[in-house]
Amino acid sequence: MKLISLPLFCAVFAAAQTAPQAVERWSVFEITLRGPESGNPFIDVQLSAVFQHEHRAVTVTGFYDGAGVYRIRFMPDADGAWTYSTSSNTPGLNAKTGAFNVTRPSPDNHGPVTVRHTYHFGYADGTPYYPFGTTAYAWAHQGDELESQTLATLRAAPFNKMRMCVFPKDYVYNQNEPKFYPFPRDASGVNDYTRFNPEFFRHFEGLVRKLMDQGIEADLILFHPYDRWGYAKMPADVDDRYLRYTIARLAAFRNVWWSMANEWDFMKEKKLSDWDRFFRLTQESDPYQHLRSIHNGAILYDHSKPWVTHASIQHDDFNRTVEWLTTYRKPVVFDECKYEGNIPRRWGDISAQEMVRRFWLGFAQGAYVGHGETYIHPQDILWWSKGGVLHGQSPQRIAFLRKIVEQWPERGVVPFPNHQFPAAYREGEFYLYYLDYHQPAEFEFELPPGMKFKADVIDPWEMTITPAPGTYEGKFTLKLPGKPYQAVRFVRAR
């Protein structure tokens, strides 16, 4: 029998189970285990862990990361001492125990985003969150140079949410091969759906982590119809296995949102019952209950279903905002209202002025609006698909709006029953009117009597705020610029 020297034995034993001794709240705690490589560990090996803090226990599913490496990721939500114990059908992975300490979060770590006050969002620490999202569907499949450029652009942009596909995308202006594929493929392009490609997922989650470090929510699109690799037509058991594996790998990142699909109704191989199943499976598999939505093409999903946390809508009819808020009683996000750009497609040729107008139409009625950009590029590097750099004029004006919105009442605003202009309010505190295409030189407003308000006239395009002299209450007439696309804000005088 060959003897193992003591130093070598210690190294092997130490590598069998590693985990940090401390992690801050809402960060990723990761257990790394060594286990079998033979057979098919993606299917043959089951692995989970129970994490215990005082009276609470949270069960988390692990995953195989290739080359004999297994991982379990956990996002703790309470400070103090935690313990864990693993369970597995493989003896070498079973009954592994440990302890770690959870420390206070750093100043930029506010935790995951959840729904608050019915129509709005907030971080776990109580800080309000106002989504100012953008879309770059396939940016995670463009290679290191372009992906780094996209992250650099985001650092100077006003966006705090990125809509992005897990699977590669095949569509106009986006027909390049990805660097990595989610499943192993043979020379003829046949996918081995019984296994995953850990390199693909390591790369993808690395970008999700970088977004997290930049304070940006990752709105992850789990399925989409724009595909030439077979991912839109996978069998039901493969769909479910893919969802569980993706959730096991990514759910511990605090900035993750789940979007079941982009244009779900264009995926003709899937039935409505499949989408209901995907929602339920995601809800059951995610220990942290991240936000869940689904994006439509021509047909809206029923966002009133209990597993939907907020309505993600592709539409440009903002007259329906109040209807959807009233019907769903959930946050409404116009994630796609067409894109600023100049391509010869009706969905990608609106002006910067129109994009800014649509942001104000949504926000001034208590909803949220997402950005996208589609300017023709000699190498087909359009932001909406590949990322890169922004060329339009709307982002700086969206940044201006974001500063205004972040000064809103803590509970957010709801539609104001004013039938002439889009308007939102928080009773007795705050009132906002967006005049849209109207251009009155003066207008009679009515505010609660006995309360004094300060007034500001806002030009969303010129990015100016002009205070009106004095204070206002009850019925009064206010002088206005007499030009369209202006806003008027009233804030309770203190």
pLDDT in tens, 30-62: 999 999 999 999 999 999 999 999 999 999 999
Spell 397-430 as b/e; 16+ CB within 10 A means b: bbebbbebbeebbebbbbbbeeeebbbbbbeebb
- Kindly list the distances between the CA atom of residue 269 and the CA atoms of 42, 224, 324, 331, in Å, as whole numbers in the listed order: 25, 11, 28, 29
Backbone angles phi, psi at 394, to 5 degrees: -80, -35
Residue pair 420/331 in contact (Cβ under 8 Å)? The answer is no
Least confident range from 6-15, 77-86, 151-160, 391-400: namely: 6-15
- Specify the CATH superfamily of domain 15-103: Immunoglobulins (2.60.40.10)
pLDDT tops 90 at residue 11: no
May I ask the CATH class of domain 416-492?
Answer: mainly beta
Percent of the chain with pLDDT over 90: 96
pLDDT tops 90 at residue 7: no
**Mean per-residue pLDDT for 471-479?**
97
Residue extent(s) of CATH 3.20.20.80 domains in the chain: 113-405
The amino acid that residue 4 corresponds to is I
Q: Which of 355, 353, 487 is nearest to 424 (CA)?
A: 487
Please write the tens of the pLDDT for every residue from 182-200: 999 999 999 999 999 999 9
Q: Which of 475, 476, 437, 482 is nearest to 457 (CA)?
A: 482
- For residue 226, what is the DSSP state? -
pLDDT band at 220 (very low <50, low <70, confident <90, very high): very high
**Mean per-residue pLDDT for 384-413?**
97
Residue extent(s) of CATH 2.60.40.10 domains in the chain: 15-103
Percent of the chain with pLDDT over 70: 97
Structure tokens at 76: 């703790």
Mean residue pLDDT of the chain comes to 95
**Mean per-residue pLDDT for 472-487?**
97
Strand partners, 114: 122
Stated length of the chain: 494
* Per-residue pLDDT at 218: 99
Strand partners, 56: 53
Residue pair 296/267 in contact (Cβ under 8 Å)? The answer is no
Q: Which of 233, 255, 193 is nearest to 40 (CA)?
A: 193
Please write the tens of the pLDDT for every residue from 280-294: 999 999 999 999 999
Residue pair 122/116 in contact (Cβ under 8 Å)? The answer is yes
Residue extent(s) of CATH 2.60.40.3950 domains in the chain: 416-492
- The CA-based angle 355-416-336, given to 5 degrees, is 25
Least confident range from 122-136, 366-380, 407-421: namely: 407-421
Name, in order, each residue with C-beta under 8 angstroms of 112's C-beta and a sequence gap of 6 or more.
26, 75, 123, 124, 254, 255, 256, 288, 290
The amino acid that residue 135 corresponds to is T
Please write the tens of the pLDDT for every residue from 196-214: 999 999 999 999 999 999 9
pLDDT band at 419 (very low <50, low <70, confident <90, very high): confident
Taking the C-alpha atoms of residue 108 and residue 96, their distance in angstroms, rounded to an integer, is 33
Helix runs in 263-407, H state only: 272-285, 321-328, 352-363, 383-386, 394-405
Tokens 């990361």 belong to which residue?
A: 65
pLDDT band at 102 (very low <50, low <70, confident <90, very high): very high
Backbone angles phi, psi at 375, to 5 degrees: -90, 135
Taking the C-alpha atoms of residue 290 and residue 258, their distance in angstroms, rounded to an integer, is 7
How much is the pTM? 0.95
Taking the C-alpha atoms of residue 382 and residue 391, their distance in angstroms, rounded to an integer, is 9
Please write the tens of the pLDDT for every residue from 322-350: 999 999 999 999 999 999 999 999 999 99
Does the 113-405 domain belong in CATH 3.20.20.80? yes
Residue pair 63/46 in contact (Cβ under 8 Å)? The answer is no
Please write the tens of the pLDDT for every residue from 369-397: 999 999 999 999 999 999 999 999 999 99
Q: How far apart are the first and last CA of the chain?
A: 85
pLDDT tops 90 at residue 3: no
Residue pair 2/57 in contact (Cβ under 8 Å)? The answer is no
Structure tokens at 131: 């989504």
Q: Please report which helix (H) or strand (E) contains residue 57, including its range.
A: strand 56-61
